[in-house]
Amino acid sequence: MTKTILITGSSRGIGASTALLAAKQGYNVCVNYLKNQTAAEKIVDEITKIGGRAIAYQADTSSEKEIISLFSKIDRDFGKLTALVNNLGILETQSRVDEMDLNRILKVINSNIISCFLCSKEAVKRMSTRYGGIGGAIVNVSSIAARTGSPNEYVDYAASKGAVDTLTIGLSKEVADEGIRVNAVRPGFIYTDIHASGGEPNRVDRIKNLVPMKRGGQPEEVANAILWLLSDEASFSTGTFIDITGGR
């Protein structure tokens, strides 16, 4: 049986690397994006060139209506989903908590937490033996910030990723006997363009000496861990976290 994977926010960074690696491992790949259609279509083209099958789907994953529509389109195009990577994550400009306004906080929470709940809900309905599914696997992309709190920069982002950790633990126990494994990765300082969103494109180079390995990580290194957690090699792992932080 051909496996089908949905990766949210997969037009760039860790999501894009995960999409390419999944295609190499034989998955049909659903590339989700919000605005950057050009980048998403580029990933689809790269997958097609190596003999894979992929489709780009535009959807706001913090909207229940759009998520339901997204999963319905995947059902139509590929059949039931077998793997989900809740990769989408945003952050705002570096700031202290006492300088954050409500709109910023709600934007981060809706994007980083609500999307994981909504996508996981729809995935469970398709994967769970309770609903006639054949099982599957979910990997949530959390962050080292869930452990450090990211003071003076992104406490709202860190708090949202802490919620993702809690979702991972709780959901993993709910569906463990329904054929679904739920795990997470916690990347550290990775070279992606998310840092530009925070106002400091070269942030990893500034702080890499705080990492015991004295370097930042690459998106491919995170993708490798994600695909392992999705694989049968991780068949007895659920509610598990892999920290990809260079020892930090």
Domains of the chain: residue spans and CATH? 4-244 (3.40.50.720)
Question: How confident is the model over 80-94, as pLDDT tens digits?
Answer: 899 999 999 998 999
pLDDT, average across residues 125-144 = 97
Greatest Cα pair distance, the chain, in angstroms, is: 52
In the predicted structure, residue 121 carries a pLDDT above the cut 80: yes
Q: How far apart are CA 109 and CA 154, in angstroms?
A: 12
Those residues whose C-beta lies under 8 Å from the C-beta of residue 230, and which sit 6 or more positions away, are: 5, 22, 83, 85, 137, 139
Q: How far apart are CA 37 and CA 182, in angstroms?
A: 29
Per-residue pLDDT at 127 = 98
In the predicted structure, residue 193 carries a pLDDT above the cut 80: no
Per-residue pLDDT at 75 = 97
Alpha helix segments (H runs only) across the chain: 13-24, 37-49, 64-78, 102-109, 115-127, 145-148, 155-174, 194-197, 203-207, 219-230
Tokens 């998403």 label which residue? 40
* Residue type for position 60: D
Q: How far apart are CA 148 and CA 162, in angstroms?
A: 10
In the predicted structure, residue 104 carries a pLDDT above the cut 90: yes
Which string of DSSP letters, residue by residue, matches 198-228?
A: TT-TTHHHHHGGGSTTSS-B-HHHHHHHHHH
Q: What is the 3-state secondary structure (H, E, C) of 50-80?
A: CCCEEEEEECCCCCHHHHHHHHHHHHHHHCC
Active site residue 154: no
Name the DSSP class of 30: E
Helix (H, G, I), strand (E, B) or coil at 166: helix
pTM here? 0.95
Question: How confident is the model over 18-58, as pLDDT tens digits?
Answer: 999 999 999 999 999 999 999 999 999 999 999 999 999 99
The residue annotated as part of the active site, out of 27, 33, 154, 157, is 157
Q: How far apart are CA 157 and CA 143, in angstroms?
A: 9
